Amino acid sequence: MGTIGVDTGGTFTDLVYLRDDGEIEVTKRPSTPPDFSKGVVDVVDAIDQDRGVLGSIDYFYHGTTVATNAMITGSGAKIGFITTAGHRDILPIMRIIGRSAGRSESELKQYSYSNKPTPIVPKSRIAEVFERVDYKGAVVVPLNEDSAREAVLMLKALDVEAIGVCFLWSFKNRSHERRMREIIEEEAPGMHVSISSDIAPAMREYERSATTAVNAHIAPLLTSYLGELQGSLSSRGMTAPLFVMQSMGGSMRAADSERRSVNTLASGPAGGVVASKFLGQMLGHPNIICADVGGTSFDVGLVVDGEPIITSTSTINQYTLLAPTIDIVSIGAGGGSIGWVDLDRLRVGPQSAGADPGPACYGRGGTDPTVTDADVVLGYIDPDYFLGGNFKLDRTLAEKAIEEKVARPLNMSVRDAASGMIEIANHHMSDLMRKMTIERGYDPRDFVVYGFGGAGPVHGGAFGRELGVQETIFPLGNIASAFSALGLAVSDLTTVTQLSDLALAPFDPATFGKHFEVLEVEALENLNADGTRGGDVTLQRIVELRYKGQVHQVDTPVPQGKVTAKLLEDVLAEFETRYERLFGRGSGFREAGIELVTYRVVGATRVQNASIQKVEEGQADATSARTGVEKLYWRELGEEVETGIYGGGLRPGMAFDGPAIIRFEATTALIHPGQRARMDGYGNVRITPQGEG
């Protein structure tokens, strides 16, 4: 009984075993590139330990970076691509956003180093076919079967392993693409085929082509990876179904991965947001800023009204894909961000020491001072108890790096330089979180912050205070570092179906209703194909609306039920409300006309009923968990003060005031002066201003 979630990260493969009694077990093993399945099997063996865990579980969830890595290294299938005559260059041109998508402003200002990515399919493997459909879906030139067959033979002769197809306006009229697929199957039996009207039937041919090409590129690899993994797990006695995490924060059956490989891209950061949603339901937190602080990157996602915020596109390796994704904004800030002096000012990042050589204190040859070095110098991180003491850090090297590269050039003490670096890094993080919430029309003060990832609890107290949130939480204490894997284990089975059909308000209720019926049928098929047991299905209707002429759409929910003129009027009103929330009162302008672009259905099934154990909170006195007192410097006080150090003995109910530090095995939590920490019944460390908790 129970559920396993395994998350393959860059350095570690994390496993969370969620037992039916709500107990959570966590195991980590090194990742094993390039064959990541080995690391997965290693970590599974480690938890199983002949206890028969694998044979007893009900569900196995996996978050894999196989597809993402294949994209970045170009190691996916050698593909061919077929498109409408005259439009071979859709992919090479990349609508020119391929040069800038996903790049930071500081990178983009360096024009001479700004490039498009290496193409996943070169021009020589893109074939054109005579066919043409117009904006209404009407056939202008029928599919010319001779030219279609020629195209397949041409690609076959180039030894392609998979073929993607995208014709103009195919989302309005799928017949040419479907016939094209039949012709490919006739001429090249056994070839993997991705057609755009299946993969992403939405308007915008560049993004649809990119999504289709990427799916064809990664599907063969992902499918065989999951097939082998399934084999290994079955041979170890697992009978539970295998699910794969998608970037939109739900999972899909491994068997569906061939058709929907593209949805697994960038699923890495999604787990933490899903786990936040799950924990938030238990704690009664509808609005959460999810802050994942890793060694080299800082990822922020949002849960609003109990649901993660989703965007309809994602960016991978500078390709823009029509793959719904949890809206996550990242910056290269984290423990590895490097502090440096620029004339007379102190800067932190965007350069990072990465995992290798890593911070100076790792002793692997790094000489640049990082934020982690600053944490060590100030005594926040105990060099002898990093990762439970399994990884010794060298404080002298950290001090040397800060002294040489920051303190001396700025004529400051090492202590001031270190605390300045941390202060700047914390502000960069809180600025990003603020931007993330405010740009989406929300006020951070209506949120709580969940700070997780290896360095989340180190910095969370500071950026939570800076943002003015109600509360900052280090979820599940020590488990904060494997929080993403927990998200896998508690994810729903989800699917998104969509369809583009431009229309100007007032919309026709009959067409509107018919489109949603089609999408809902398709969503149910996706969810129930293997008769997943239990759980109730939820279907959410969304339309993307905008004022006529705009490019940016606003997702607007559509109530369930019969589509009437009244309901449509309510939808328009809701759009304008949301619009004004985003852009300010008076920004709406109905005179321009309201345009509908895309219909979307998000379907979800709760497959398991996971919960985590809650124990009665005991005494508040935390003295027994205190392992010592150290004199540490706190920037906000401007001096060194007695700081309580707490350890693994912390129990639910215990509470204490900052300044204090909790040294868990896998992470360290800072409780700043003026803050109060309390461990709740789930083992979460909750930070509130003193006097409010």
Partner 1 sequence: MARTIMKIPGSEHFYSEGKRPELSEISPKLKVFPYDKDHEVDPITLEVVAHKLWQINDEQGQTLKKISGSPVATDANDFNVVLCDELGDIVNIGPYYLPHAANVDFMVKWTVVHRSDNPGIEQDDMFLCNDCWIGALHPQDVAMLSPIFVDGQLFAWTGSTIHQVDLGGVNVGSWCVDAEEHFAEGMTYPPIKIVEGGMIRKDIEDVYLRRSRAPALVGLDLRAHIASNNVAKQRMLELIDRYGAKTINSVMKKQMDYAEKRFRERLRQIPDGTWRCETYQEVCKTQDRGVYKTVLAMTKRDDELEFDFSESDPNAGMINCTRAGAVGGSTVAIMPQLCYDIPWALGGLHRALKFITPVGTVINAEFPHGVSMGSIAGTWSATNAANNCIARMLASVPELEDRLLSGCVGSWTTVIASGIDNNKLPFVTMIMDCMAGGWGARTFADGVDTAGLMAAITGQCPNVETNEGFYPILYLYRRETKDSGGPGEYRGGMGATSCWIPHDTDGQPIDLVLATFGQAFPTAFGVDGGYPGNTAMYKMMRDSNVDEWFARGEIPADISDVEGTLEYLPPKYETQEMPLDVFEHTWSGGGGYGDPLVRPPEKVLADVINDAVTVEAARKFYGVVVANGAVDAKATKKEREKIRENRLGKTPDATGSDGANGDFVRRISNRLVMDAKNNVACQNCGHVIGPATENYKFGLVRKDNNIQEANPLIVDPELFIDPEMVFRQFFCPSCATQIETEVVLAASDPVWDKQLAIK
Residues 148-177 that bind partner 1 (CB under 8 A): 168-169
Within 67-106, the residues that bind partner 1 by CB under 8 A are 85-90, 92-97, 99-100, 105-106
Residue 536 binding partner 1, by CB under 8 A: no
Least Å distance between CB 194 and partner 1? Answer: 19
**Could you count the other beta carbons within 10 Å of the beta carbon of residue 105?**
8
Residue whose CB is less far from partner 1, 65 or 197: 197
Least Å distance between CB 96 and partner 1? Answer: 5
Within 552-571, the residues that bind partner 1 by CB under 8 A are 552
3-state secondary structure 409-458: HHCCCHHHHHHHHHHHHHHHHHHHHHHHHHHCCCCHHHCEEEEECCCHHH
Quote the CA–CA distance of 216 and 210 in Å, as a whole number. 10
Span interacting with partner 1, options 201-209, 228-236, 373-381, 509-517, rule CB under 8 A: 201-209
From 456, 457, 375, select the one nearest 418 (Cα to Cα).
Answer: 375
* Out of 52, 55, 142, 638, the residue judged to bind partner 1 by CB under 8 A: 142
Quote the CA–CA distance of 370 and 355 in Å, as a whole number. 12
Within 591-630, the residues that bind partner 1 by CB under 8 A are 591-593
Quote the CA–CA distance of 458 and 663 in Å, as a whole number. 10
- Mapped onto helix, strand or coil, the DSSP state of residue 576 is helix
Helices marked H in 18-144 — which ranges?
36-48, 53-56, 66-73, 90-93, 105-108
| Cis peptide bond upstream of 350, omega within 30 | yes
Q: CB–CB of 594/547 below 8 Å?
A: yes
| Residue 470 to residues 112, 447, 448, 467, 688, Cα–Cα distance (Å) | 45, 6, 5, 9, 7
* Out of 144, 311, 532, 540, the residue judged to bind partner 1 by CB under 8 A: 144
Least Å distance between CB 554 and partner 1? Answer: 9
Least Å distance between CB 590 and partner 1? Answer: 10
* Out of 382, 582, 617, 673, the residue judged to bind partner 1 by CB under 8 A: 582
Name, in order, each residue with C-beta under 8 angstroms of 667's C-beta and a sequence gap of 6 or more: 454, 455, 456, 457, 458, 474, 478, 480, 481
Residue whose CB is less far from partner 1, 439 or 508: 439
* Out of 232, 511, 540, 550, the residue judged to bind partner 1 by CB under 8 A: 550
Least Å distance between CB 290 and partner 1? Answer: 20
Q: CB–CB of 208/262 below 8 Å?
A: no
Least Å distance between CB 409 and partner 1? Answer: 10
Helices (H), strands (E): how many in the chain? Answer: 19, 35
Residue whose CB is less far from partner 1, 26 or 543: 543
3-state secondary structure 503-558: EECCCCHHHHHHHHHHHHHHHHHHHHCCCCCCCCEEEEEEEEEEECCCCCCEEEEE
Within 19-58, the residues that bind partner 1 by CB under 8 A are none
Residue whose CB is less far from partner 1, 50 or 344: 344
Token pair 């990832």 in the structure block, residue: 453
Residue whose CB is less far from partner 1, 99 or 364: 99
Residue 237 binding partner 1, by CB under 8 A: no
* Out of 391, 521, 560, 583, the residue judged to bind partner 1 by CB under 8 A: 583
Residue 141 binding partner 1, by CB under 8 A: yes
Q: CB–CB of 413/407 below 8 Å?
A: yes
Residue 584 binding partner 1, by CB under 8 A: yes
Least Å distance between CB 664 and partner 1? Answer: 29
Within 500-529, the residues that bind partner 1 by CB under 8 A are 502, 504
Site size toward partner 1 (CB under 8 A) is 79
For strand 288-293 and strand 298-304, is the pairing parallel, antiparallel, or unpaired?
antiparallel
**150: exposed, middle or buried (C-beta count within 10 Å: 0-12, 13-18, 19+)?**
middle
Residue 589 binding partner 1, by CB under 8 A: yes
Within 244-273, the residues that bind partner 1 by CB under 8 A are none
Within 410-449, the residues that bind partner 1 by CB under 8 A are 410, 412, 420, 423-424, 427-428, 431, 434-435, 438-439
Least Å distance between CB 202 and partner 1? Answer: 10
Residue whose CB is less far from partner 1, 347 or 364: 347
Give the tokens for residue 290: 């999810």
* Contact string (CB under 8 A) for partner 1, positions 357-396, x = contact: ----------------------------------------
Least Å distance between CB 143 and partner 1? Answer: 9
| Residue 131 to residues 259, 427, 535, Cα–Cα distance (Å) | 24, 55, 45
Quote the CA–CA distance of 630 and 362 in Å, as a whole number. 23
Residue whose CB is less far from partner 1, 108 or 620: 108
Least Å distance between CB 109 and partner 1? Answer: 5
Residue 188 binding partner 1, by CB under 8 A: no
Half-sphere exposure of 129 (CA within 13 A, CB side): 31
* Contact string (CB under 8 A) for partner 1, positions 100-139, x = contact: x----xx-xxxxx-xxx-----xxx-----x-x-xxx---
Quote the CA–CA distance of 437 and 466 in Å, as a whole number. 14
Q: Where are the beta strands (DSSP E) in 78-144?
A: 79-84, 126-129, 132-133, 139-141
Within 323-362, the residues that bind partner 1 by CB under 8 A are 343-348
Span interacting with partner 1, options 31-39, 238-246, 391-399, 576-584, rule CB under 8 A: 576-584
From 284, 233, 294, select the one nearest 483 (Cα to Cα).
Answer: 294
Residue whose CB is less far from partner 1, 536 or 591: 591
Residue whose CB is less far from partner 1, 45 or 128: 128
Q: What is the DSSP string of 182-248?
A: HHHHHHSTT-EEEEHHHH--SS-HHHHHHHHHHHHHHHHHHHHHHHHHHHHHHHTT--SPEEEE-TT
Least Å distance between CB 220 and partner 1? Answer: 25
Least Å distance between CB 53 and partner 1? Answer: 48
